[in-house]
Every structure is written in structure tokens, then in C-alpha cells.
Amino acid sequence: MKNIKYETDRLVVREWEKEDYKDLFEFASDSEITKFLHFKTYKNVEEAKKRIASIRESYKSSPLINNFAVVCKTGNKVIGDVNISTYKPQAGGSVHIGYTLNRKYQGKGYATEAIIGVLKFIKKNNLAKRIEATHDLANPKSGNVLKRAGMTFEGIARKAGENNFHSRYDVAHYSILDEEIKL
């Protein structure tokens, strides 16, 4: 595969490719997935094609601080995404990470594997000394993924988030330091 960012035992995390739009649409059109996200539930494949085109264009200006496809090696199917965002270069750097996973693949350890992989990728490439992640407090499964990946719960920011339904939600904050990441 081209444009590989990193691999784990069962996953390849790479740049989005034009042909991935059907897999993106599969999970981005699921309102049970998008209710905790910042984008509206996709209604047609054109939205997925436009999103991938936008991401691919953004790789030109920001190749690392971006969104990447999570591909299951079995079947070569995109089952979700991970992102590295809001890079702050001061004092060794900090980044914020996030992920989305197709509901059909939840509960099988893929999300934890993808997050552990991105943490190792950040450490190996010396991208940041501090890695942060957040989730909607109403979505405790997301917090469980972050804890299993070795991240530490830091607290709750009340009504600090806004989801795609334009409602405020409590945000759970997690972090991990690069020296805590085991390679």
C-alpha cells in the first residue's frame, strides 16, 4: 500500500484515497456514530467524495497534522479514521488526537489498536511531548478506548463541546506524555 503512515498487527493507517468514499459513507452515514461528532450525518456518497477530496487537498499543506484512514488488513476495508490535530509547537510540542470507527467494527479492539498505533507513531517521529484527546462524556466507550491505550483522565470541562446537533456537552479530557508511551 502506498502512503502508509503506520501499521499495527491488524491495521494500516494511511492517507485517504479517492476510492475510499464508499467505506467513509458507510460509517459517516450512521447517525449512531455521528451523534457524538462535529459533522452532520452524511446523506449521500457525494458528501463522502467531497470530504475525501478536501482531506487529500489538505495533505499538501499539512501532511502530518491531518485525518487518516484506518484500514483493516483483512479485507482491505476502511473501518474508520484517526486524526492528529491542533499542533502546538511550544516546549516540545503538543497535539490533539481523535478517532471514529465504523459501528460494525466496534468492540473488537480496533479503536484501541489504532490509538496505540498513533501514539507510537507520534513518539517515533518526535512530533510532540504531550498528546491530548477528548470525548463527549455521554460516550463513555470512547473514554474506555483512551484509557486502554494508556491515556490518563484529567478532568471534565462542563458544556465545553458542541456536537453536530448544536447542543453543548461536557467534555472529558485525557492525555499521555511521550515518555509514557511504550514502543
pTM for this entry: 0.92
The Cβ-side half-sphere exposure at 147, using a 13 Å CA radius, reads 8
Phi first, then psi: what are they for 15, rounded to 5°? -65, 150
Sign for the pseudo-dihedral over CA of 56, 5, 86, 37: positive
Please tell me the distance from the alpha carbon of residue 80 to that of residue 106, in angstroms, as a whole number.
10
Cell of 172: 472529558
- pLDDT value at residue 4: 66
pLDDT-derived band at 2 (thresholds 50, 70, 90) equals: very low
Q: Which domains does the chain have, with CATH numbers?
A: 4-180 (3.40.630.30)
pLDDT tens track for 67-114: 999 999 999 999 999 999 888 878 888 999 999 999 999 999 999 999
pLDDT tens track for 18-48: 999 999 999 999 999 998 887 889 999 999 9
